Amino acid sequence: MVHEIIRRHLNQPAKLTGIVGLCVYLSLGYLLKIKLTYDYANWTNNYALLRGYLRAAHVHGLTLSFLIIFYAFLIEFSGLGDKLKKVAVTLAISGVILMPITLVLSGFGIKILILSHISIIMIISSVFILAAAHIKKGLR
């Protein structure tokens, strides 16, 4: 019974992305805490910009991972067609993956912060699709 529930939820890409994201970004936060604890002076002075970007990636990654899991539950009851549901989920997953990765790479000096804006547009678009579906469903 429990095995079936776990298998059913992990077969959905948005939920799996959220769960993997939670594990990855919790680990990143733990690594940041370890680095700050054992190398405080060097980490806060010489690597302040990198630390800031990694903290932002940790926070954004965790928040977006929780939101994508919530989004996956909501989209099941949206009444969207399969194609539109797939587009919305793909936009959401792409945005959730792209945002923290962009922040991590920016911390290492790769200037691709414009991709974070694209990821925001992807996430907002997927939310608009979901909201429109629920509004349309509520009006019937």
User: pLDDT tens-digit profile of 109-127?
Assistant: 888 878 889 999 999 999 9
What is the secondary structure of the chain as a DSSP string? -HHHHHHHHHTSHHHHHHHHHHHHHHHHHHHHHHHHHHSHHHHHHTTHHHHHHHHHHHHHHHHHHHHHHHHHHHHHTS---HHHHHHHHHHHHHHHHHHHHHHHHHHTT---THHHHHHHHHHHHHHHHHHHHHHHHHH-
- pLDDT less than 50: residues of the chain: none
* pLDDT attached to residue 22: 93
* pLDDT attached to residue 11: 66
Measured CA distances, 101 to 28, 56, 65, 90, 112 (Å): 12, 10, 13, 17, 10
Measured between alpha carbons, how far is 133 from 80 in angstroms, rounded to an integer? 6
* pLDDT attached to residue 46: 76
* pLDDT attached to residue 93: 92
* pLDDT attached to residue 85: 87
Token pair of 97, please? 């993956």
